[in-house]
């Protein structure tokens, strides 16, 4: 039986990996995250706390569990927070990855690491895996440094870059779709930029891609994104439409109106052809993805 170690199991993507892998009897999965407890308080899941910034903890857990594959979905992911907390962001997104690499090398584990469209400057959009990164904010810089540490490590690895991930999770940091839904349901006006373009990704698609990388033992970089290119403003309209919420509360603004701490790349759309052909990824479009999210929220409310 293959042993898989998930890092960041309490996060949006980590939770989805945990759920999807829990039904696979060919894997023994150990979930880990920064917090003392796991969001799923259930015997179906093995969980232990692991802070990636603690080198000796990473080393001892990896050497005792002896994973074949490590999936790293942990990270400092709040872009503006990273801009203002540079040392902490570096510790998680770069040193944490280096700790995993060192530990993985000792047990000959493969590392599948999750990275971001924010490694690109967003000047052109439609980025392929071989395009040159040029991050314009600190979060993007830490994520690229993490990627580079992996690239030069000579361990068996894959890097899955994804973009504007949306979906449901328990106690997760509010992603764009959840933020839109919550505000519109409460009749709160929201301001959405029409000059940032992405191909938003349903969380189940990213988890699918990562699991396929493990199954097929693929290496290198993979772009995993949704099938539609869209601005945040239009994305909000589409979410409102699926949830039958009032669109007049969505105000159209420009990025500079937000005055955020970190610069934002304007168009970071990712080309996903490689993941589609090599992994069999069939990314959903926005209506499909948001409909899936709606169903998940309805199911959660019923339980
Ligand atoms: N969400 C997006 O739109 C997006 C877009 C592009 C790329 N990505 C990348 O995708 C990955 C997953 O993103 P996500 O949205 O699932 O993130 P998320 O919901 O913010 O989850 C990240 C998880 O990382 C864990 N973590 C933070 N510091 C840690 C540490 N020192 N040691 C161990 N775990 C730690 C946290 O665990 P606790 O909850 O236990 O504290 C948190 O649950 C990240 O690498 C991110 O850069 C995300």
| Secondary structure of 172-225 as H, E, C letters | CCCCHHHHHHHHHHCCCCEEEECCCEECCEEHHHHHHHHHHHHHHCCCEEEEEC
State yes or no: pLDDT of 128 exceeds 90. yes
Spacing, Cα 48 to ligand 1 middle (Å): 16
Please say whether the beta carbons of 233 and 193 come within 8 A: yes
Q: Residue 137 — pLDDT band, cuts 50, 70, 90?
A: very high
* Cα Rg of the chain, angstroms: 19
12 lines ligand 1 (CB under 6 A): yes
180 lines ligand 1 (CB under 6 A): no
Which pLDDT does position 42 carry in this prediction? 74
Element (DSSP H or E) covering residue 65: helix 55-65
State yes or no: pLDDT of 52 exceeds 70. yes
Every domain of the chain and the residues it spans = 2-173+199-229+268-284
201 lines ligand 1 (CB under 6 A): no
Residue tagged active-site, from 47, 138, 139, 166: 139
51 lines ligand 1 (CB under 6 A): yes
The atom number, within ligand 1, closest to the CA of 92 reads 31
189 C-beta neighbours (distance < 10 Å), count:
11
Which pLDDT does position 300 carry in this prediction? 81
| Mean of all residue pLDDT scores within the chain | 97
State yes or no: pLDDT of 302 exceeds 70. no
Q: Does domain 2-173+199-229+268-284 have CATH number 1.10.3720.10?
A: no
Stretch 80-91: mean pLDDT: 98
Stretch 270-276: mean pLDDT: 98
Which pLDDT does position 303 carry in this prediction? 64
The atom number, within ligand 1, closest to the CA of 165 reads 3
The model's pTM: 0.97
């Amino acid at each position: 039986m293959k042993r898989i170690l998930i890092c960041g199991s309490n996060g949006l993507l980590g939770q989805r990996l945990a759920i999807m892998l829990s039904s696979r009897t060919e894997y023994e999965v150990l979930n880990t995250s920064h917090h003392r407890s796991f969001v799923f308080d259930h015997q179906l899941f093995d969980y232990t706390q692991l802070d990636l910034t603690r080198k000796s903890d990473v080393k001892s857990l990896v050497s005792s569990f002896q994973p074949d594959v490590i999936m790293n979905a942990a990270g400092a992911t709040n872009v503006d927070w990273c801009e203002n907390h540079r040392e902490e962001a570096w510790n998680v997104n770069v040193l944490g990855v280096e700790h995993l690499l060192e530990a993985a090398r000792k047990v000959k584990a493969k590392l599948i690491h999750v990275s971001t469209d924010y490694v690109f400057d967003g000047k052109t959009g439609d980025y392929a895996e071989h395009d040159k990164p040029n991050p314009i904010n600190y979060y993007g810089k830490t994520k690229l440094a993490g990627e580079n540490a992996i690239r030069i490590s000579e361990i068996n690895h894959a890097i899955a870059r994804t973009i504007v991930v949306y979906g449901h999770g328990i106690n997760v940091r509010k992603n764009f779709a959840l933020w839109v839904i919550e505000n519109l349901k409460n009749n709160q006006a929201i301001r959405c930029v029409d000059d940032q373009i992405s191909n938003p990704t349903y969380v189940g698609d990213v988890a699918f891609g990562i699991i396929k990388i493990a199954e097929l033992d693929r290496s290198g970089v993979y772009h995993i994104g949704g099938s539609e290119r869209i601005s945040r403003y239009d994305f909000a309209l589409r979410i409102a439409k699926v949830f039958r919420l009032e669109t007049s509360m969505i105000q159209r603004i420009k990025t500079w109106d937000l005055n955020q701490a970190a610069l934002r790349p304007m168009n970071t759309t990712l080309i996903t052809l490689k993941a589609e052909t090599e992994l069999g990824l069939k990314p959903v479009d926005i209506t499909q993805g948001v409909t899936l999210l709606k169903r998940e929220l309805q199911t959660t409310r019923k339980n």
